[in-house]
Amino acid sequence: MVHMKGRWISLPSCMLAAGLLVAGLGGCANFKSKPKTIVTPAPAATPVVPETPPSEPPPPRLSLSAIVHHDLQNGHYAEGEKALRRYLQEHPGDRSAQFFLRQWTEDPKHALGAAASPHVVQAGESYSTLAAKYLGDPNLFLVLARYNGSTNPSLIRVGTTLQMPATQNAVAAASTAAQSGAAGSTPPTGTPTPVDPPADLPPSQRAEQLENQSIALYRQGHRDQALTVFDQALALNPQLKSSTPEFAALSRAWVANSHQQAMVLYLDQHLDQAIALWNRILVVDPSYEPAAVYRTRALELKQRLQQY
C-alpha cells in the first residue's frame, strides 16, 4: 500500500495509472503531423509530328486554245499530249480536245491514205491553210504536218515540196475526223476557227483559201459562219467558180441572203447601199431576176428623188 496525501493506494493501481500516462503521452506524440512530400508530375512529352515534305504545286490549268497554239502548233508534241490528256481528265466530254488528241495518236498515213500529190509551198502558206485547202478543215493541221514528218508545224519553208493527200482520200479523212471525233466519240461541238489568209498574198489566192474554208464549214454544218467566210471570198474575187455541190449551195444561199439585205436597205431608202449589193449579186449570178428587177426600181427611185 502507498500513502498519498492521506490516501492509501494500492501498488497495482499506481502501476496501472503510470501505464495509462505513458500510453497517453505516446498517443499525443503520434498526433504530430508529418511533413508532406509534394510530388511534382513530370511534364507531358510533346508528340513528335513527322515533317511533311512540301508538295509540288499542281500544274497550271491551260485552256484548249493555249494547248493547241502553244504546244501542238509549235511542235511540242510530248507536252501537248500530256496537256491534252490532263485537260480531258477535267473535261472528259470535250470533243474538240478528243479531236486534236486523235490527230496526234492516229497513224497519219492510215488516216489520210497513202496516195498523195506533191505541193510546192508558196509564200504565206501554212499547214493550217493547206489543211483547209486539201482536207477541208484548217484544224487538221496537226495530222497533215505529221503526214509530212514535220516536228514543228509552225515552220514551213517556201519552195519546200510537201505531200498532199489525194483529194478523194483527203475529203474522206476530213469527214471521218469530223464524224468520229476521237476514240469513237462524236464530232467536236465547237465551230472551227477560220484562218485569215496572209495579207501579202494576191487577192485571188486569198479568195481561194477563204472559199475552201467556207466549203469546209458548210460540210460540217456551220452554215452561217460558212456564208460569212464565203462573203469575204466573194469580196476579194466576185467571179469565184467551183464544180463542187457545196459551192453551188453556198452561192444560192449567199444570193438569197444578200437579196433580203438589199430589200431592207431599199425599203429604208438606203438606195446606194442596196444598189451596190444588187450589183454584187448580179456579178455572182447574172440570171437572178429579183436582183435585176429591184435594182432597176432603186435606180428609178433614186433619179426621181434627185429631181426634187
Cα separation values, 297 from 85, 267, 293, Å:
61, 11, 7
**Residue-wise DSSP of the chain:** -EEETTEEE-HHHHHHHHHHHHHHHHHHHHTSPPPP---PPPPPPPP-PPPPPPPPPPPPP--HHHIIIIIITTT-HHHHHHHHHHHHHH-TT-HHHHHHHHHHHS-HHHHH-S-EEEEEPPTT--HHHHHHHHTS-GGGHHHHHHHTT-S-TT---TT-EEEEE-HHHHHHHHHHHHHH-STT-PPP-SPPPPPPPPTTS-HHHHHHHHHHHHHHHHHTT-HHHHHHHHHHHHHH-TT----SHHHHHHHHHHHHHHHHHHHHHHHTT-HHHHHHHHHHHHHH-TT-HHHHHHHHHHHHHHHHHHH-
User: Is a pLDDT exceeding 60 seen at residue 156?
Assistant: yes
Residue 118 included in any domain: yes
What nine digits make up the cell of 69?
497554239
Place of cell 511540242: 76
Residue 95 included in any domain: yes
Mean per-residue pLDDT, 43-59? 54
The answer to whether the beta carbons of residues 176 and 167 sit under 8 Å apart is no
The answer to whether the beta carbons of residues 152 and 75 sit under 8 Å apart is yes
Q: What is the pLDDT of residue 10?
A: 52
Number of domains making up the chain: 1
Place of cell 495530222: 143
Where in the sequence is the domain holding 81, given as residue range(s)?
Answer: 62-189
| Rounded-to-10 torsion of CA 260, 262, 267, 272 | 180
What nine digits make up the cell of 264?
431592207
Residue 174 included in any domain: yes
**Which of 3-12, 44-53, 161-170, 174-183 is most confident?**
161-170
Residue 89 included in any domain: yes
Residue 110 included in any domain: yes
Residue 157 included in any domain: yes
Query: What would the pLDDT profile of 243-299 be if each residue is shown by its tens digit?
Result: 888 888 999 999 998 998 899 888 888 899 999 999 999 999 999 999 999 999 999
Residue 199 included in any domain: no
**Residue that wins the pLDDT comparison between 132 and 157:** 157
| pTM of this structure | 0.44
Residue 159 included in any domain: yes
How does residue 168 score in pLDDT terms, banded at 50, 70 and 90?
very low
Q: What is the pLDDT of residue 38?
A: 54
Where b means 16+ CB within 10 Å and e means fewer, 260-277 reads: eebbebbeeeebeebbeb
